[in-house]
Amino acid sequence: MKSLTLAQKTFIGRRSNNQDSCSARKIKEGVYFLAVADGMGGSVGGQIANKLVLDNALKIIMEEFNYEMPPSEMKEVLQRVFISSQQKIAQKIKEEPSLMGMGTTLTCVLIQDDKYVWGNIGDSRTYLLRNNDLRPITIDHTYVQDFINESGGKALPQNVLKQYGNYLQRALDGGTDQADIFPNDKDFERLVEGDIFFLCSDGLILDKVESDTTIFRNYILGSKNLQDAAEQLIALVFHDGSKDNISTVLASYANYKRIKTKIKKFTYPPKETEKDKSKKIFSSPRLSTIIGVSAILVTLLLAYVLIIKPDQQKIFDILNFFGENSKETKATPTKKAALKNDNSELKEFKNIDEIIGEKLPIVKNLVKQKSKVVNEKKTTIVSNLTKDVKPNKIENKKTSGQQTNLKQNITPIPETTKVRDDLIKETPKKRNAKK
């Protein structure tokens, strides 16, 4: 019987407490038990659940191996571990109802001489590294995994990953969920010299769809020993942005062949650096949303100015939006006075001011809702004006440094002036009502 070399490490990460537990235990000569549990249900509930499950698992395995245990019964031992753990949690919740909702994942390997079996429930994983090839030998019990299975390998939408990334379909929570026990078609599998088991909580898996098995393999085989590998893997994902507790267990059967590869070395335990903080800021979902919405608003504004209004003061509109009107959304007295003098300015100011005043929440809806009102009142004004105003184009001219009063060229009509003044008074009210 060749010996196993064991290593384990758990790290609190960016959380206020650690709800992970792990174990790499020699039960007796030739018998080993490896496990990682990731608690859930609040800081207290998660810690209680994973400790309860691991203590219960070790107790059962020690009891079973007090006697001669044929390798063909190892799967039954693991089955008992999972069933008993469900019962223990259910009993604890019954005694303390405040713990309702607590639970934990569990992934584990039971080894006897050169034979092994394994099982899991939840999203903590077990990998096997053999002949430089690292592969998962468990399947996550998550909604994301279901989507992957049903999509046939197609890329998943980001909203699916974001919404369901932490949803479990099975867990040890005092219910009736059952674990997967492997291998499916035989009593046990056999170890090969150089095999390495790699167990981890989901805090180590930043990409739930495509895990970085090549990077993991390089750190396991490129570190000076398994304990160093465990610490480096934790530091690696911490600096890459993991926000969860991080735990890992490594166990090698006999001697394994190390490889020469370039890997970045980290100080353990890892500490957040300024670079990590900047990554965190720019990867913030809230910031991404703000940037995305801002880009859409700017694009819609440019589309409005360059496409919807191709011939009307394009540059003025853009600069006006990013200039004074970005701070001032109401018409100033000067602007109101100008509006009374020139109907074309009224039209120009109304369109621009309403868009800026509304902060462009949805430009398309604004155009649809406001176009009817503007067009109706514009039609009334134009129809009234055309009755008494000559079709000559009116231009703003300056004499002696002062602006000529346009009313000198237009004979005011009481009814038209009343309509125009009413329109000016109504504009701020409509804007304020929507706020």
pLDDT tens digits, residue range 57-101? Answer: 999 999 999 999 999 999 999 999 999 999 999 999 999 999 999
Q: Are residues 103 and 165 both part of a single domain?
A: yes
Secondary structure class of 120 (helix, strand, coil): strand
User: In the prediction, which pLDDT does 300 show?
Assistant: 80
412, two tokens: 């005011």
Q: Are residues 248 and 304 in the same domain?
A: no
pLDDT of residue 72: 96
Higher-confidence residue of 107 and 294: namely 107
Tell me which residue of 141, 172, 167, 137 sits closest to 54, measured CA to CA.
Answer: 172
**CB contact set of 261 (below 8 Å; sequence gap of 6+):** 218, 221, 222
89 & 176 share domain: yes
More confident: 332 or 40: 40
Question: Domain tally for the chain?
Answer: 2
Of 233, 252, 283, the residue that ends a domain is 283
Q: Judge if 61 and 149 occupy the same domain.
A: yes
Query: Half-sphere exposure of 379 toward its Cβ, with a 13 Å CA cutoff?
Result: 6
b vs e for 349-375, b when ≥16 Cβ sit within 10 Å of the residue's Cβ? Answer: bbbbbbbbbbebeebeebeeebeeebe
pLDDT in tens, 179-236: 999 999 999 999 999 999 999 999 999 887 776 899 999 999 999 999 999 999 999 9
* Cβ neighbours for 96, distance < 8 A, ≥ 6 positions apart: none
162 has a pLDDT exceeding 70: yes
- Percentage, residues of the chain above pLDDT 90: 52
Do residues 267 and 224 share a domain?
yes
Q: Name the token pair of 216.
A: 């993991």
Please check whether residues 279 and 360 belong to one and the same domain: no
Same domain, residue pair 278 and 293 = no
Nearest residue to 325 via CA among 291, 298, 361, 358: 358
Please give the average per-residue pLDDT across 157-166, as a whole number. Answer: 79
Average pLDDT of the chain, as a whole number: 78
Phi, psi for 180 (deg, rounded to 5): -90, 130
d(CA 132, CA 136): 13
pLDDT digits over 230-243, tens only? Answer: 999 999 999 999 99
- Res. 141: pLDDT tops 60: yes
Which structural domain range is residue 152 located in? 4-283
Higher pLDDT, 433 or 296: 296
- pLDDT score, position 317: 56
Full-model pTM: 0.66
For residues 258 and 364, state if they share a domain. Answer: no
| Tokens coding 408 | 């000198």
If pLDDT is split at 50, 70 and 90, which confidence band does 270 have?
A: very high
Name the residue with higher pLDDT: 317 or 348.
317
Query: 81-113 in b/e burial notation, b at 16+ Cβ within 10 A?
Result: bbeebbebbeebbeeeeebeebbbbbbbbbbbe
Distance CA 344, CA 24 (A): 81
More confident residue, 82 or 410: 82
The answer to whether residues 125 and 34 touch, using CB atoms and an 8 Å cutoff, is no
- pLDDT, tens digit (0-9, with 9 covering 90-100), for 119-140: 999 999 999 999 999 999 999 9
- From 110, 253, 109, select the one nearest 192 (Cα to Cα): 253
Between CA 201 and CA 166 the distance in angstroms is 12
pLDDT at site 336: 44
Give Cα separations from 55 to 21, 109, 117, 435 (angstroms).
Answer: 10, 15, 19, 59
In this structure, the answer to whether residues 119 and 162 fall within a common structural domain is yes
Q: Which of 254, 283, 312 is the last residue of a domain?
A: 283
Q: Is the domain of 132 the same as that of 218?
A: yes
* Residues 6+ positions from 398 with CB-CB distance below 8 Å: 404
Predicted confidence band at 44 (pLDDT cuts at 50, 70, 90)? Answer: confident
CB 199 within 8 A of CB 125: yes
Span 290-331, pLDDT tens digits: 777 777 888 887 776 666 555 555 555 555 655 544 444 444
In this structure, what CATH number is given to the domain that contains residue 62?
3.60.40.10
Give the Cα separation of 36 and 201 in Å (integer).
Answer: 7
- Between CA 50 and CA 124 the distance in angstroms is 12
pLDDT at 30 over 90: yes
| pLDDT of res. 393 | 42
pLDDT at 111: 98
Percentage above 70 pLDDT, the chain: 66
Give yes or no: residues 156 and 65 share one domain: yes
Domain termination residue (choose one: 222, 251, 283): 283
pLDDT, mean of residues 266-279: 81
Same-domain check for residues 205 and 347: no
